[in-house]
Chains A and B, each alone.
Chain A
Amino acid sequence: MTSSDGVVRPGGGASSPTGSIYDIGYRGYDGPRLGRRHAVAALFRHSLRSVFGIGRPARAKILPLVCLAIPALIATVVVGMTALAARVGAGEIGLLPGHAELVGVVSAFPTILVAAQAPELLGRDVRYRVLTLYFSRALLRVDYALSRLAALATAVAVVLLLPQVILSVGAILLTPDVSGALGRELAYWPAILGSTLVNAFVPAALALALASLIVRRAYATAAIFGVFIIPGIVAAIIVALDLGSASRQIVLLDIGAVLDGANAWFFGISATNETLAKTDVPTWEALVAAIVAGAGAAAVLVQRYRTVAA
């Protein structure tokens, strides 16, 4: 035994040294263990908080909050202008975006959010080599990938839904006929939800797939940005060239156009995206392309994390 001042006092005589170990507090854990589902849920919650910078220093909150605030602001302005027009008696302003058009107007912000945050979500774990810690728990590799994806998609969904909610609430509050307005707004919501689902899942999946392939965060962000924007410009040019109906399919490489087309399909309108409108590509094709792109990206993400060295 060793007492605190370092003097050794043996328990027995000088001829038979004894020793004992005292249980000073370390205990194994015998209690209930939450399983895989809880691990996934915990990672999901943590990732979602991380995307919005909650639990991180203030600097990390700026960008996600900007992405959240500006679309909301735009929606508020629309509501305000509608109210103003009603007050002035000018009737509806046709140019103001409704639920369907709003998605297109704020489309830059999901892009910014995923381009900035997807590398953040994945890059830190790879860089500091903590993946082993994750995978030595109940969490499977595929769980990690999908959980991160679900969180980022949810975050984008929040960014997209908030302005829609504001529009709906505004529309309900502005008219004297509340129940009628409520009914009208509710009719929109299946389309809103469907469109939001696609418009959140696909960018998140694509961004995460790219982020999983490019470790350096700066380069990943630039790559995501490039992939989202450059094909669109090229597609616009090729479509403008009018090289034939086959070439029109090139528009399906433009993520912005595809997402807009999917959105249009949900709302039953025609595409608002310039490039898409010029081609005759039906909106359901755009929806299918979007789903395929999203699923493919998710598959790449999962496969990447199946094989990445922990």
Chain B
Amino acid sequence: MTDRAERADRAERADRTERADRTERAGRTQSDRVRHDRPLWGPTTGTGPRPEPRPLSAGAAVEFQGVSRWYGNVVAVNDISFVLASGVTGLLGPNGAGKSTILHLLAGLLRPSDGVVAIRGGPAWRNPAIYREIGLVPERESVHPFLSGYEFALLNARLQALPRPEEAARRAIETVGLTDARDRPVATYSKGMRQRVKIAGALVHEPAILLLDEPFNGMDPRQRLQMMELFAQMAAEGRVILFSSHILEEVERLAQNVLVIVSGRLAAAGDFREIRRLMTDRPHTFTIRSSDDRRLAAALVGHPSVFGVELTDGRLAVRTSDYAGFARALPAIARSGGLSILELLPTDEDLESVFGYLVRR
């Protein structure tokens, strides 16, 4: 093998070994854990089916503890617990899963039927003081159509009792990029502009916690990118940003952590790549490009961790149940056959696959 390929190979091996070790560690705790039809708890929460009521995490900005919300016989939110730290968290789920309900519970607009919703240690319900720290961008609710964009931001600034509301309003409008349209009534705005003016209204007091319900609805790609940059920047400043979406691409791009909600339950939480690795009951798929796909395929089929091999399109698709085992075995197999691996990609570690697995459970 060439030098370069060997180095690449070694680097790959080292990388794979490290990840394999991590997975094994996770896998060990995984096997002690209960069956996979229970909700998975990610790194940010405790493990186990139902945590005992704990004292609220000191200093945690946003916390859900065993929160449920039902309307008569319909359970909209079913025993959800999580803690949010600074950074961007995506609230992901199909329509009707309960994302809006969770955001409304966090914003103190709904009373939890069970459990505790805590903002900075205090309850969210019946506690107007939290609104100094929170900015909410609701999905459906609209702005008074007769107000201009600037006037709306100004109204929000005044209601927040800011010392210099005009300045804050102007800054907020500028931040969302509505300076040109700010004196026109909101009734003349496009949908994306209306979204942005709502965001401006929520940013006016520079809140530490930002709750957004499908914020990129109706925005064109350029506006979306701008808003994403804004939120990423705000998160880097230490704010807690939670946004809901059912568009995986948005969440994948922006969120550092995800909370996956399916039918009111928390199906998974944490970094979605880690979540994927925890799902060992789903076969992993990899795409490999090598110097000789066919021979590699033949060699791989013989290995116990591989249970599907496919030659398609100039690539080799491999399905394996044992991530760690395969990761260790592949370089050895390749070397013993005198083959070079040119490309190795996991194909279903993207959020879409993870999400699909979670929803289809």
Contacts and interface: CB of A to CB of B under 8 A. Distances in A.
Direct contact of A and B (CB under 8 A): yes
Interface of A: 6-8, 10, 14
A7 B317 CA distance: 10
Interface in B319-355: 348, 353
B312 interface: yes
Contacts of B348: 6
Contacts of A7: 285, 310, 317
6 contacts: A6-B348, A6-B356, A7-B285, A8-B312, A10-B312, A14-B311
Interface residues of B, number: 9
B310 A14 contact: no
Given A6-B356, A7-B317, A14-B311, 5 more contacts: A6-B353, A7-B285, A8-B312, A10-B312, A14-B313
Interface string B138-176: 000000000000000000000000000000000000000
B267 to A, nearest CB: 19
Contacts of A14: 311-313
Contacts of B285: 7
A96 to B, nearest CB: 48
Contacts of B353: 6
Nearest to A17: B313
Contacts of B312: 8, 10, 14
A93 to B, nearest CB: 51
Interface in B296-318: 310-313, 317
9 closest Cβ pairs, A-B complex: A14-B313, A14-B312, A8-B312, A10-B312, A7-B310, A6-B353, A6-B356, A7-B317, A6-B348
Contacts of B317: 7
A75 B329 CA distance: 92
Contacts of A6: 348, 353, 356
A229 to B, nearest CB: 31
A14 B315 CA distance: 11
A215 to B, nearest CB: 13
Interface in B259-317: 285, 310-313, 317
A10 B317 CA distance: 14
A146 to B, nearest CB: 32
Contacts of A10: 312
A14 B348 CA distance: 22
A290 to B, nearest CB: 40
A267 B317 CA distance: 91
A28 to B, nearest CB: 28
Contacts of B356: 6
Contacts of B310: 7
Nearest to B352: A6
A276 to B, nearest CB: 45
A8 B285 CA distance: 13
A124 to B, nearest CB: 17
A60 to B, nearest CB: 18
A10 B356 CA distance: 22
A8 B356 CA distance: 16
B11 to A, nearest CB: 30
B359 to A, nearest CB: 13
A6 B317 CA distance: 12
A66 B228 CA distance: 55
A8 B312 CA distance: 9
A7 B311 CA distance: 12
A8 to B, nearest CB: 7
A241 to B, nearest CB: 43
B100 to A, nearest CB: 19
Contacts of B311: 14
A305 B164 CA distance: 49
Contacts of A8: 312
A7 B285 CA distance: 10
A7 to B, nearest CB: 7
A309 to B, nearest CB: 15
A89 B311 CA distance: 106
A7 B310 CA distance: 10
B361 to A, nearest CB: 14
Nearest to B308: A7
